[in-house]
């Protein structure tokens, strides 16, 4: 799925945006995150190190904002009926993911972010950390470490590194 979507974004915007910016922007997106960014970088022929840096930074940019503001944003969005259901599904999914993380706290959060599977990643990790009231000073470095591990795994898959 990530490869299909990354290819669609490249096909749509590849001629009008630099490869580095495109990879950065893909890595910002929920669901795709670093996984989609690394796939796009490989398709675009970006060198590994440059791709890794742009993907990591792109994936991490929204995380402090999610940790600080997501509850207020969700509260505000719930006022609108057309997104209320989506917000409730996101919260329910985060609650399900939080059960495992709650048991192991920071180690569980690290694993949730580090394993590049659908429904995991930095966005989900930030939502779960906020739900479990894990303070930003603890959650942010753990999420960053998880993104680095996910980056190493995705590098091995996409670039054959390691």
pLDDT tens-digit readout, 5-15: 778 888 888 77
Contact between 37 and 26 (Cβ < 8 Å) = yes
**Same-domain status, 34 and 82:** no
**Same-domain status, 116 and 37:** no
**Same-domain status, 119 and 100:** yes
Which of 19, 51, 16 has its CA nearest to residue 35? 51
**Same-domain status, 23 and 74:** no
**Same-domain status, 39 and 84:** no
**Same-domain status, 29 and 43:** yes
Q: What is the pLDDT of residue 7?
A: 80
Give the Cα separation of 18 and 24 in Å (integer). 10
Both tokens of 82, joined, read 């057309």
Q: What is the pLDDT of residue 162?
A: 57
**Same-domain status, 69 and 139:** yes
- Tell how far CA 28 is from the center of its chain: 7
Q: What is the pLDDT of residue 121?
A: 92
Three-state secondary-structure class, residue 116: coil
Give the Cα separation of 115 and 24 in Å (integer). 20
**Same-domain status, 14 and 81:** no
Whole-structure pTM value = 0.87
Predicted confidence band of residue 147 (pLDDT cuts 50, 70, 90): very high
**Could you list the residue range(s) of the whole structural domain that residue 54 is in?**
2-60
**Same-domain status, 67 and 147:** yes
Predicted confidence band of residue 89 (pLDDT cuts 50, 70, 90): confident
Query: Where among 39, 60, 81 does a domain terminate?
Result: 60
Query: Where among 31, 60, 89 does a domain terminate?
Result: 60
Give the Cα separation of 21 and 23 in Å (integer). 5
Q: How many domains does the chain have?
A: 2
**Same-domain status, 43 and 96:** no
Three-state secondary-structure class, residue 145: helix
**Same-domain status, 68 and 132:** yes
Position 161 in a domain: no
**Same-domain status, 37 and 74:** no
Both tokens of 95, joined, read 């609650």
């Amino acid at each position: 799925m990530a490869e299909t979507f990354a290819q669609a974004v490249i096909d749509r915007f590849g001629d009008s945006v630099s490869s580095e910016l495109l990879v950065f922007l893909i890595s910002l997106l929920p669901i795709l995150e670093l996984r989609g960014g690394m796939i796009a970088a490989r398709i675009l022929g970006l060198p590994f190190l440059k791709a890794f840096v742009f993907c990591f930074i792109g994936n991490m940019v929204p995380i402090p904002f999610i940790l600080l503001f997501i509850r207020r944003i969700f509260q505000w969005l719930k006022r609108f009926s057309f997104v209320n259901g989506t917000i409730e599904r996101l919260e329910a999914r985060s609650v399900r993911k939080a059960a495992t993380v709650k048991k192991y706290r920071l180690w569980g959060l690290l694993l949730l972010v580090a394993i590049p599977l659908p429904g995991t990643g930095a966005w989900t990790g930030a939502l779960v950390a906020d739900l479990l009231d894990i303070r930003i000073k603890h959650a942010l470095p753990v999420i960053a470490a998880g993104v680095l591990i996910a980056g190493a795994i995705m590098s091995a898959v996409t670039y054959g590194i390691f």
